[in-house]
Amino acid sequence: MNKKGLSLFALTMIAIGSTIGSGIFKTPTSIAFHVPDAMWMTLLWIAGGLVSMIGALIYAEMGGRFPSGGGIYTYLKEAFGPLTAFLYGWCLLAVVSSGTIAALIVIFTENVQQMTGFDPGLKSTFSAVSIVVLTLFNMFSLNSSKQFANISTVLKIVGIYGLLVLLVVLGDQTVFEGSIPVGEIMSSEKAQGFNWASAFVGVLWSYTGWHYASFVTSEAENPKRNVPLALIIGTLVVTLSYVLVSIGYLKVISIEELVAMKQMENPPTLAVVAAEKILPGIGGIATSVLISLSVFGCAGLYVLATPRIIKQMSNEGLFFEMFGTSHPKFGVPLSAIILQSLWAIVLVFLWGGFEDIINYVTITEWFFLMLAAIGIFVFRIKKQGNEDGGFRTPLYPFLPLIFIEIVHWFVLNNVASDNPAAYFGLLVIPIGAVVYFLYNKLSSKSN
């Protein structure tokens, strides 16, 4: 029997810590480029928080129904069978986790390059070497990597809230002057050029992580009350933080400057520029160091986490046997870790820039978040999983339908764009299907 040890506070910290990441340091320039209006940028951050909250409430129910672990992989397998679960694990390895590692290391490299001034043409090589070092560090020094991850998480939170306070208090620009009023948005000529779906990529990248908080339902005290409450409080805190930081940026940097930064060949990290403006000299350097340590530690968590899903798939006969074993001394799924890191290096050279990588990752990841959310209808109709005393998604079926429709709009509009990074991630899915059937065919022959 699992010990119900996670309090409301602990659950709330998980909800906040698993969501706040690197995005808010970097993505507002891209959002401003696609929606160059301060008020509507802010409303997009609020919309991202609402979508995340609805998704978290759906996943809170599914986490209660299947508390044994596996997260989305388990939900998809239970709802749609082994092929769909395999495709999620395949994309987690080939797109989501490896792409996230690549994106985080690109931010790390950009900050180091700006601090040291090494040749920008060497950034991809530096990123590749950094991934190798990060992988070795996490494979062979687990205790050290866990401690570093904890420290980097603290630094990340301190950095965000410290920057927030400085921007809001010391910034002196008028933020919403000249914004399009709500009543005029449909008729505004300026708004006709807004690309809402592309702008939402940066928003949803920044919010991704809320679903991890629903995976600990079985370990929570009074889960029926505390899990949804923690998800609501956590999402509200993250949303408020993102909204305030975004407004803070606009108190020191104009919309026009944000758009110009996005168009630079070697753009600086927004948070560093903002900190340098309010604290010349020390502000930019301190922020660069905090961001570098934060994203390096966060990437380390992905190096270790996803290979365990691959190992589970292998142990269940859904993936190659060599990925189902752990290193006898270090206890990590070594083959899966090496494969994931090698592919992350390929993605660095393939896409190069942070924005292309997050387009590649975010659309595919949210596609599977949407697909798993559809599973709640399957579970309700078939009465699958644990239905006794667990959390039930409020306003069912309306909230799940709203979540599914918004994510469907987001994915479809980005796939229809002319940006190959926006749909190449999804093209990995049919390749995975071919691998799945070939693997099953080879397995049946060997048996």
The answer to whether the peptide bond before residue 397 is cis (omega within 30 degrees of 0) is yes
The confidence score (pLDDT) of residue 2 equals: 45
Domain count, the chain: 1
The confidence score (pLDDT) of residue 90 equals: 92
The domain that contains 203 carries what CATH number? 1.20.1740.10
Cβ neighbours of residue 426 under 8 Å, at least 6 residues apart?
Answer: 363, 364, 367, 411, 415
DSSP-derived letter for residue 432 is H
Confidence of residue 217 (pLDDT cuts 50, 70, 90): low
356-372 average pLDDT score: 95
Closest CA to 236 of 100, 52, 40: 52
What is the overall mean pLDDT for the chain?
Answer: 86
The confidence score (pLDDT) of residue 412 equals: 94
The confidence score (pLDDT) of residue 315 equals: 83
Q: Is the residue at 2 inside a domain?
A: no
Domain of residue 189 covers 8-441
Instruction: Tell me: pLDDT of 194 over 90.
Output: yes
The confidence score (pLDDT) of residue 154 equals: 75
181-185 average pLDDT score: 87
Helix, strand, coil percent values for the chain (each to nearest 5): 80, 0, 20
The confidence score (pLDDT) of residue 78 equals: 95
Structure tokens at 107: 């931010």
Q: What is the pLDDT of residues 408-439, one digit of tens each?
A: 999 999 998 888 888 899 999 999 999 999 88
3-state SS, one letter per residue, for 270-285 = HHHHHHHHHCCCHHHH
Q: What is the pLDDT of residues 26-66, one digit of tens each?
A: 899 999 999 999 999 999 999 999 999 999 899 888 888 88
DSSP character string of 80-106: H-HHHHHHHHHHIIIIIHHHHHHHHHH
Instruction: Tell me: pLDDT of 205 over 70.
Output: yes
Q: Is the residue at 446 inside a domain?
A: no
The confidence score (pLDDT) of residue 69 equals: 67
Q: Return contacts of 401-410, CB within 8 angstroms, 24+ apart.
A: 402/54, 403/51, 403/54, 403/55, 403/58, 403/370, 403/373, 404/370, 404/373, 404/374, 406/51, 407/51, 407/366, 407/367, 407/369, 407/370, 407/373, 408/370, 409/197, 410/197, 410/200, 410/204, 410/363, 410/366
Integer Cα distance of 349 and 203 in angstroms: 25
Q: Is the residue at 3 inside a domain?
A: no
Instruction: Tell me: pLDDT of 20 over 50.
Output: yes
Task: Tell me the three state secondary structure of residue 7.
Answer: coil
The confidence score (pLDDT) of residue 214 equals: 65
Handedness of CA 15, 18, 22, 23 (dihedral sign): negative
The confidence score (pLDDT) of residue 151 equals: 76
Closest CA to 71 of 215, 206, 213: 215
Integer Cα distance of 444 and 340 in angstroms: 27
Residue pair 78/66 in contact by the 8 Å Cβ criterion: yes
Cβ neighbours of residue 340 under 8 Å, at least 6 residues apart?
Answer: 93, 97, 98, 101, 303, 306, 307, 310
Threshold 0.85, pTM exceeds:
yes
The confidence score (pLDDT) of residue 5 equals: 65
Residue pair 81/422 in contact by the 8 Å Cβ criterion: no
Q: Is the residue at 187 inside a domain?
A: yes
